Chains A and B, each alone.
Chain A
Amino acid sequence: MAARWPAAAAILIVALQLMPVHRSNPPATADLSAPPEISSMLRDACYDCHSNHTRWPWYSAIAPVSWIVYRDVAEGRRRLNFSDWDAYASDPGTARRKLTQIADLVIAGKMAPWYYRALHPRARLDPAQRRIIARWAATQAQGAGR
């Protein structure tokens, strides 16, 4: 009886692959403009979930992990999508809010999330890098108007 479990698990995993997720990178309308140093850190630490330039890892093609990755990217893009920055910027108050949140969440170490950092070494920002991003975002927010 116990010998049947691995076979059943294998069949289940194969069956799960019949429900793929749509891993897409829509065209970027207008990415956030930032100095190269800032842009590089944002790309490494944030862009996989918060832009249309997602680097889909190999395991994002395998269910059920693919479902989790897809959900994280979809939610990340809904909350903040650097590739849609022009849309935020057309309402200065929104741009200011987004930038303020970037500063707050990055300096607090809440972004990128720990489970993402665990799998993506390049997303591990050190305290100095966090301060640089936060300072830049806070300065930009002040210029974005209310």
Chain B
Amino acid sequence: MRFVHLVTFSAVLLAVCALTAQTECSDSPIFTIRAEAGHFTPSQLEVAANQPFTVRVTSAEKTPIEFESFELRRERVVRPGETISVNMPPLGPGTYKFFDDFHRDTPEGAIVVK
């Protein structure tokens, strides 16, 4: 009887662990950037190292922008009024620049990983 209880407890524990791990994975941090009037706001994001995250980019510009980062290997077109989600992998500490490739006069932004 004691053995049955042990097995049941272990199974419940495993299920809770699996559920928790799944929740953490789907709960990766989300950061928001807005492109408006020729600027990214905020122009700098601070994120934790070695942890995947998502950047949501919204454009309030009148023409499409291209959110691009050579270091991050990311390139996405954002149409006026559109919001896109950009998946980011776990990153090592450092500064990763991003820019609007359609409007090179827009000041660059950076993702600072600490």
Contacts and interface: CB of A to CB of B under 8 A. Distances in A.
Nearest to A97: B75
**Closest 9 pairs between A and B when the two form their complex, measured CB to CB:** A87-B73, A91-B87, A78-B70, A97-B75, A93-B76, A94-B74, A94-B75, A90-B89, A88-B73
Interface size bracket, B side: 10 to 19
Interface in A79-130: 79, 81, 84, 87-88, 90-94, 97-98
Interface of chain B: mostly helix, strand, loop or mixed: strand
Contacts, number: 30
19 contacts: A81-B73, A87-B89, A88-B73, A88-B75, A90-B87, A90-B89, A91-B73, A91-B86, A91-B88, A93-B76, A93-B85, A93-B86, A94-B73, A94-B74, A94-B75, A94-B76, A97-B76, A97-B77, A98-B75
B84 interface: yes
Interface of A: 78-79, 81, 84, 87-88, 90-94, 97-98
B83 to A, nearest CB: 12
A28 to B, nearest CB: 14
Contacts of B84: 93
A81 B77 CA distance: 19
